[in-house]
A and B are shown apart, each in its own frame.
Chain A
Amino acid sequence: MDENDKIVEEAEAAASQAEDSKSLYEAKLQFLGREGKVTALMKRMKEIAQELRPAFGKQVNALRAKLEALFSEHETRMKELELQKKLSAEQVDVTMPGRRHRAGTLHPVTRVKNELIDIFAGMGFEVFEGPEIENDYYNFTALNTPADHPARDMQDTFYLTDEFLLRTQTSAGQIRLMEKKKPPIKMLSPGRVFRSDDDATHSPMFHQMEGLVVDRGITLCDLQGMLDKFAKSMFSETSKTRLRPSYFPFTEPSVEVDVSCHACGGKGCSLCKGTGWIEVLGAGMVNRHVLENCGVDPDEYTGFAFGMGIERIAMLKYGINNIKLLTENDVRFLEQFKE
């Protein structure tokens, strides 16, 4: 039937020309819609002889099926095409910068303080904070440094009155804790301390972390063992410690603790001034007088204490070369200490 073939041809042409889903749909209606050509053919049924009607009907149905398949195919094609168009229209320049929420930072001293607390908390230390303004007794006398003691010269003190001063060390916290708590004690006391010193390597205010262990049978070997663990956690797995004699009024024996240089592994470099060792902290066995001052029996208990400058650790750890950077609060400096 030529006419039907012609309709199929026409439909093919119309569908192919359609530019989008909408025109394709309109084209479809022209053939398959209520007013479409197939419906028009069906309407001609009554003009056809009775006996020819079944065959005619069959042919029209076949045409309808053919057209439906034809349009369905085009619809699938069109959908695909349109998706492609949409995707390509939505393309972005992936090399453009990302949009970010600028997070703030914690001060390097806070970071190191937290890290130190983590290390020592894992060893069973609890944190205790004493006041920054102290009286003479807690800062000096109770720590075995009476008024005329030569050690008072070691730390230039800021005085507020004859009696009150800015604490020169967090060791003052030792006394306050031991007055309240009896051994076993494992205490960590971080905080601000003050010395009237102001030059390239000294700041009138800095932070210290004091550690104190008091229990039965504590020895100098335990002190070094603990500091070994600290050095390994803080600096590097291969860090070692070295003790050498020193003097603090509140410890006896007193030691300076050097840690093997983490920059050169102990071979000697500019950081450690060629010695392979870096002076990191002061420590010692708690002086018997200090224990007595706190009502702890020095014949029953012994202990060790250590104190380190948090700024110093931070400078070593992050390679900061000037202590002033830590109180200048330049945002270009601070933003380097992101979480």
Chain B
Amino acid sequence: MKVPFSWLKEYVDIDISAEELQEKLFSCGFEVEELLYLGEGVDKVVVGRILSCDKHPDADRLTVCRVDCGSYGEKQIVTAATNVFAGAVVPVALDGSTVRHEGGVQKIKTGKLRGVTSEGMFCSGEELGINDDFYEGAEFNGILILDENTNTGCDIKPVVGIDDYIFDIAVTANRPDCQSVLGIAREVAAVLKKTADGKLPAFRTDYTAERTDVRIPVEVRDTKLCPLYVGSYVKDVRIGTSPRWLRRRLALCGMRSVNNVVDITNYVLLEVGQPMHAFDRKFLHGDKIVVRCAEEGEKITTLDEKEFSLHPDNLLICDGERPVALAGVMGGLNSEIKDDTTEVFFEAACFARDSVRKTSRALGQRSDSSARFEKGVYEIFPHMGMTRALHLMQQLGCGTPTTYTTIANCPDLSAYTIPSKTIDTTYEKIDALLGIEVPKEEVNGILRRLGFSVTEKGEAFSATVPLWREDIDGFPDLAEEVIRMYGYEHISPTFLKNATVTMGGLTPAQETELKFKRTLAGEGFMEACNYSFYSLKDYDLLRLPADAPERRTIAILNPISEDLGVMRTILLPSMLQNVVRNVRRGNESGRLFELANVYLAEELPLKELPEERKKAVLALWGEGDFFDLKGAVEAIGAAFGLKLAFARTEKPFLHPGVSAKVLLGEREVGFLGELHPEIAEELALEKKVYVAELDYDGMKKKFKGDISYHNLPKFPDVERDLAVVVDEKVTCGEMTECILRACKAVKGAELFDVYRDRRLGEGKKSMAFRLTFAADENAEKGLSPETVDGYFKKIVGSLNHTLGGELR
């Protein structure tokens, strides 16, 4: 919200600097995002009167002028401009001055032009940063010629209206009433205590109405979309140029002047916050207004000559025959104000904010008006805007207000009122919420300055809310009004002095999650964090078939981009992206993991909240191989007391020979393996990448809770090494299982060597295990060598029998 300092000063007697006002606004909830000084870069530029103009002795195009600069004395200025003449009053940039130049600042010094001294420079409007709306002739390509009555020697800034500030204010969503100069002025008056009752007497809406028989009735078909429509007829309109002060204010807020009537509607938008529209009455066929939804395919051409084909969601303002405006967005070309307009019908309405937003977005047509409606317009504003517009019409002499003002769907105007809200509460309630005691007089004074009318009733009071504050609906709102004006520095920190003592901390589930992460960190994995969405294309990258369950994914209706268009059902793709990014940046090796939710829909489109299932993904590249990754998975198993088993599996995205599923009992709880070489190639990954995904929520139920202690064995374990020659196809898993099954006394069988040699035979390998034998927990004595020999023989026999293994 852009607010000029000078405009505020019209309504509030501000006796502090712009910087001080910025602080004040900040303290009461209005952050000034930018404070712009319009005279920035223009320094030591003064008003001068040209006394004489002579040709330069050595240059045809240059003119040598003698200039009276008032108290700065007489100066000689050499100029190339052709519009200077003796007697002209012009801006003179003196020696050591600065002016605006091509978006920056230029320093001006005394110098010689073709041998003749020039003690400065004349300025154009552009060099002062102004256009015609600030000063007549400012856009002329040459020197700015000032009014001849301007005093010489004056600083140029006040003369051309740039000794001013623009406050760019962030207004919170609950304060649409402050999306206007008047709204901010009300706040400023309250915070500076320049009003006692919230009124700004300088803001005038009075006018004299002349009788008329003209009737332009307004019919609103959908009062939800248009809760209020105020119209007024103005006669004897004389289209012309707006006065300087008005044009300048529009320009300060970034608007161009069009003509007096259109300027008034824009001025009211900026000042009151009410979007207005002016129709030329002679183009309103049938002398009536109908507010209705568009028919499918109905067309309108807006003021900017764009044609739109409409949809029943779009609200239209129509005359007796055709659409004349796109409600709240822009007027129609067919009824615009022209130079020969003599009668005007003003519109000031409330349109539903989401209706305006939908239309504006759907058609890609935005305007100051639609932006304003989207923030919300309260019921009082159309009335305030309309009376202000009529006041200005009269004041500027560009038309005669009439007695015909109408409110749609309201047969009896005299009975029309806007209901006001009154809040009954106590000073104690306000204090109890704030935790401090604010003196009664302070509470009353603050609320009154903000326009509330306060009636004190002993310890209680009632506050009638000003009509422009529809956001206020209870005592906490009053408490907020009080404290933001009283000052937050009055809040003195206390530490829950009345609260009950409670127990705090993580839930067991959260502690487990943290332990899971720490376990993986202990294995050298770094925790990654990825977006919860990715691209549908990721499924193709993974070669997932069309009917793969992972493809049942929840789509975002309004994604940032297609690449972030669907919710994750598998964590692997984001992790692969991480690996690719790391490798591309020269990080030759690494280990990453992520523990995050995937989103699994029962039904699509969603009928209920989907399942959010926590999964873990691991990746390792550069250093290490399949068994390093498997070691990390096993570490998880060990940390949580899970008996994980591994079996060969095939996944479309894994190397068919180097991929396993992770089993917890019968249940598959994950996979691990080498990324399929084809995918690796597609991703330009030269080194092998190993990945795993674990179903954290699937394993969670089996996580061992508390540690339970096992008695130490009474007798030491006995170790024996066993090397067996088997066929290449026999797996370690099969052998281990066979050994453990053959003998109960074997506590562990750990593979420590695999050996291949021609002498062992074609297609054979030797597998060496370290066997650990333990005596039964209740045994009286330890294992004798003879007993162990017996076990050993039994194992060898079983290996031979089951897997064809030969003792080496």
- Contact of A327 with B529 at beta-carbon distance under 8 Å, contacts A159-B558, A245-B480 already known: yes
Other-chain contact of A124, B28, B374, B502, B517 (Cβ < 8 Å): B502
Cβ contact of B432, chosen from A163, A164, A217, A228, cutoff 8 A: A217
Q: Is the CB of B434 within 8 A of A288?
A: no
Would you call B500 an interface residue if the criterion is a C-beta within 8 Å of the partner chain's C-beta atoms?
yes
Q: Give the contacting residue for B507; candidates A106, A126, A150; CB below 8 A.
A: A126
A302 to B, closest residue via Cβ: B433
| Contact A184 B528, beta carbon cutoff 8 Å | no
Any A CB within 8 A of the CB of B581: yes
B504 touches A330 (CB 8 A): no
Is B416 located at the chain interface by the 8 A CB criterion? no
Partner of A243, one of B479, B488, B559, B585: B488
Q: How many B residues touch A, CB cutoff 8 Å?
A: 88
CB–CB A219/B433 < 8 A: yes
Q: How far is the CB of B241 from chain A (nearest CB, A)?
A: 37
The residue that A194 contacts in the complex, of B174, B497, B532, B581, with Cβ under 8 A, is B532
Q: A220-B491, A226-B496, A329-B581 are in contact. Are A245 and B28 (CB under 8 A)?
A: yes
Could you mark each residue 90-117 of chain A with 1 if its beta carbon is under 8 Å from any beta carbon of chain B, else 0?
Answer: 0000000000011111110110001001
Among A216, A228, A247, residue most surrounded by chain B Cβ atoms (within 10 Å): A247
Q: Contact: B559 with A104, CB < 8 Å?
A: no
Minimum CB distance partner of B474 in chain A? A288
Q: Is B690 an interface residue (CB 8 A)?
A: no
> Cβ of A225 and Cβ of B504 under 8 Å apart?
no
- B455 contacts chain A at the CB level, 8 A cutoff: no
* In the complex, B612 has a CB within 8 A of chain A: yes
B690 to chain A, nearest CB (A): 15
B374–A114 touching, CB < 8 Å: no
Residue B590 at the chain A interface, CB threshold 8 Å: yes
On chain A, the residues within 8 Å of B655 by CB distance are none
The B-contacting residues of A in range 299-339, CB under 8 angstroms, are 302, 326-332, 334-335, 339
Return chain B residues, CB-CB under 8 Å to A194. 532
Check A213 against B528 for contact (C-beta < 8 Å). Answer: no
Which of chain B's residues 121-175 have a Cβ closer than 8 Å to chain A? 172-175
Q: A106-B527, A220-B483, A331-B526 are in contact. Are A215 and B501 (CB under 8 A)?
A: no
- For residue B556, CB closer than 8 A to chain A, the reply is yes
> Chain B 514-535 against A: per-residue CB contact (8 Å), 1 yes, 0 no?
1001101111111111111100
A6–B27 alpha-carbon span in the complex (Å): 111
**Are A224 and B491 in contact, with the CB atoms below 8 A?**
yes
Q: Could you say which of B374, B554, B557 contacts A153, with CB atoms under 8 Å apart?
A: B374
CB of A166 within 8 Å of the partner chain: yes
Chain B residues positioned under 8 Å from A51 (CB to CB): none
Question: Does A222 lie within 8 Å of B496, measured CB to CB?
Answer: yes
Contact with A along B1-33 (1 / 0, CB 8 A): 000000000000000000000000011110000
Among B276-284, B456-464, B603-611, B720-728, the stretch that binds chain A is B603-611
Stretch at the interface among B192-200, B321-329, B591-599, B695-703: B591-599
* Across-interface contacts of A161 in B (CB, < 8 A): 557, 605-606
Chain B CB within 8 A of A12 CB: no
A284 closest partner in B (C-beta): B480
Shortest Cβ distance from residue A132 to the other chain B in the assembled complex, whole angstroms: 6
Cβ of B312 within 8 Å of any chain A Cβ, yes or no, is no
CA distance A117 to B507 in the complex (A): 11
Query: Do B592 and A331 have beta carbons less than 8 Å apart?
Result: yes
Interface residues of A (CB under 8 A from B): 101-107, 109-110, 114, 117, 120-127, 129, 131-135, 147-151, 153-154, 158-161, 163-164, 166, 184, 186, 188, 192, 194, 196, 198, 204-205, 213, 215-222, 224-226, 228-229, 241-247, 249, 252-255, 285, 287-288, 302, 326-332, 334-335, 339
Supplied contacts A106-B521, A215-B499, A330-B587, 14 more A-B pairs, CB within 8 Å: A124-B501, A147-B354, A153-B173, A204-B564, A205-B533, A213-B496, A220-B491, A222-B499, A245-B480, A252-B480, A253-B480, A254-B480, A288-B474, A329-B526
Which residues of B approach A to under 8 Å, CB–CB? 26-29, 172-176, 352-354, 374-376, 432-436, 474, 476-477, 479-480, 483-484, 488, 491-507, 510, 514, 517-518, 520-533, 554-560, 564, 567, 578, 581-582, 585, 587, 590-593, 597, 599, 605-606, 609-610, 612
Supply 30 A–B pairs (Cβ within 8 Å), ascending by A: A101-B524, A107-B528, A124-B501, A126-B502, A132-B532, A150-B173, A150-B353, A150-B376, A153-B173, A160-B556, A186-B499, A192-B597, A215-B500, A217-B498, A220-B435, A221-B434, A221-B491, A221-B494, A222-B499, A225-B493, A244-B29, A245-B27, A245-B480, A245-B488, A252-B476, A302-B432, A330-B582, A330-B585, A332-B587, A335-B526
The 10 closest A-B pairs by CB, nearest first: A219-B435, A221-B435, A245-B29, A253-B480, A217-B498, A247-B172, A104-B521, A225-B493, A329-B528, A150-B173
